[in-house]
Structure 1
């Protein structure tokens, strides 16, 4: 029988209950054995709904459970670092939802925690474990489209509800931290390097103060990346990689469906009507299942998790620099 990592979950957050936990329950290397909430009734309700064996009325109780190997942390953004640190100090490996922190300094504080505890800590960018993204990485490294020179991304949805936590500045709400981080991840993944400097344009909601529309340009040694993200536009997402000989497009890059195959488009002809496009299709799969399995397998086999702390810190450095640029109106250098 395959050995599995035993997971506990901090909070009954929607992303966990609706997406991540049901997916992890189908994992080859994962079991979800406990869930905690500050409200025991909520924890019991979620446990009953999902068939999770144990429910706790405090996060501390879950962290004290000796039958839990790893913690999934989907708490509000401002609670990511404190509870990731507590979980690690309790000897649990941690997969923390993105963004792992609100600042570079916060994220870097986890390096010492990891060193002391000896556990692995990773950021939950599920795209980094998903088949279509892994394939794009293979194609880029193999030079399928020549030399990569440009990455272009777009990610948006519409949510202007003042009561929604994604619209609370103090909770790390707003477009850049919530979804722009994916576009940054895509650019860094594509080029396989860090940007030297970035520039950003930020439009803030006059009442909620969150960034509702942010665009940025990232300057790499190998080329350039551009992206726009918004929490108050028509829902849309796309990522394209442009090389000297061709182009790769990920059809649905971030919210990949789990009920149908996904596709990437490879264009090596430049024919504007698309007649030369080659389509690669990937079997129906759940990217959250793949994320849980990739993290768990790294623990069980002694490998590196898909997005370790160093990667999380580098992504946060770009986010911080874009925010600084939005204020200064100048190019800013990411600082880790």
Structure 2
């Protein structure tokens, strides 16, 4: 469920949430943090790095008032309400759990973990601490995706029967973290996760089995090309993702009476409109498609504002920890299938002690 609907208080009546940032990654400094900084409910108050010089320089560049030379110092700051965790993938669970146990709400970059088992541990941390934990799939906050899901729910394309997704870029830099297997690099963790997440978002239910074909980089050991198939019970997701192919991304959602095509589904630009096509299929050359243009918005800004609003006004968050667990269970099954060469079942998500998790969408 989206947090876009406000509670009884307007944003102007809510106290801004004071955020602390773990690390000073290039992505955070150039993409997500500048967007977060523009939100009236999101106040960037502190940044931590294991290198105090790096932390100080990063904080100064963004006008963040406090810098710390260790992550623990940031978590010990009593004035911090929430933590943004864009650390390398293998550190997500450890520092998200420590932040929540330090009394902070946590928005963690995707993937939330490197296995469903580790992600499920965070469900119990949330239950234990009472703090919100969510995975940062910013796309769910973008109006183009909310419109697409609304069309599906209202039957604008009939019954949704297939989602087709492609996402790729070219990166052969051995020093790049996306090419380091030990810390969670590779195509499926980095970008294939978007196809899994958005298909679950559109179908509104969980897939039951998965199949994948993977090609590994001989030097890095990471999956450089992964294609997958998810069975939603009479409906399918097919996708291809690659870290060594021409930069491209597109999503098509096919129904019994129409089609939705999202031009830039994942890296939606914050400085220009986005286009979505709604097509009744009456012509094969797509001349029957109606173009819907969405005004420029920054989905990272929308994401942090929605999370801050949920902290101050209550209510659910988009892509909660339970939803994140569901994504990891699918990713686990895809990796198992790549090894076994068979369909792999996706079992229902459970917490500690085998407790079933609520429906994840």
- Using the size of structure 2 for normalisation, the TM-score is 0.92
Structure 1 residue 299 displacement after superposition: 1.2
How do 1:90-239 and structure 2 match up within 5 A? 90-239=102-251
Task: Find the partner of 1:78 among 77, 87, 90.
Answer: 90
Separation (CA, whole Å) in 1 of partners of 2:346 and 2:29: 35
- CA distance in 2: counterparts of 1:66 and 1:39, whole angstroms: 22
* Structure 1 position 222, deviation (Å): 4.4
Cα deviation, residue 301, structure 1 = 1.1
Q: Is the 8 A contact 1:299 1:305 kept in 2?
A: no
Task: Name the structure 1 match of 2:7.
Answer: none
How far apart in 2 are the matches of 1:47 and 1:222? 50
Counterparts of 1:39-78 in structure 2 under 5 Å? 39-78=51-90
CA distance in 1, matches of 2:346, 2:88: 25
Distance 1:297 1:281 in 2: 27
1:276 & 1:100 partners in 2: Cα distance?
Answer: 40
- Alpha-carbon contact 1:158-1:233 (below 8 Å) kept: yes
Query: Does 1:274 find its partner at 2:286?
Result: yes
1:247 maps to 259
| Cα shift readout 1:211-242 (whole Å, capped 9, x = no counterpart) | 00000110002411100000000000001100
Q: Secondary structure at the match of 1:273?
A: coil
Q: How far apart, in 2, do the equivalents of 1:48 and 1:163 lie?
A: 26
Q: Which residue of 1 aligns with 2:345?
A: 333
**Could you tell me how far 1:43 is from its partner in structure 2?**
0.7
When the two structures are superposed, what TM-score results if normalisation uses the length of structure 1?
Answer: 0.98
Q: Which of 257, 264, 276 pairs up with 1:264?
A: 276
Distance 1:28 1:280, change over 3 A: farther
In the alignment, structure 1 residue 288 sits paired with structure 2 residue 300: yes
Q: 1:269 Cα deviation (Å)?
A: 3.3
Separation in 1 of the partners of 2:234 and 2:103? 40
> C-alpha offsets along residues 37-91 of structure 1, whole Å, 9 cap, x if unaligned?
0111111101111001111111111111111100000000000000000000000
Matched residue SS, 1:35:
strand
Deviations 1:151-205 (A, max 9, x none): 0000000011111111111110000000000000111111111111110000001
Shift of 1:259: 1.1
1:21 is aligned to 2:33: yes
1:92-114 Cα deviation digits (max 9, x unpaired)? 00000000000111101112211
SS at match of 1:12: coil
What is the distance in 1 between the residues matched to 2:209 and 2:159? 21
Distance 1:14 1:238 in 2: 25
Contact 1:204-1:213 within 8 A present in 2 as well: yes
Residue 28 (structure 1) shift:
3.0
Cα distance in 1 for residues equivalent to 2:281 and 2:230: 27
Residue 210 of structure 1: CA displacement? Answer: 0.3
- Can you give the 5+ residue segments of structure 2 that lack an aligned partner in the other structure? 1-11, 350-361
Alignment of 1:299 with 2:328, yes or no, is no
Contact 1:10–1:37, Cα closer than 8 Å, also in 2 = yes
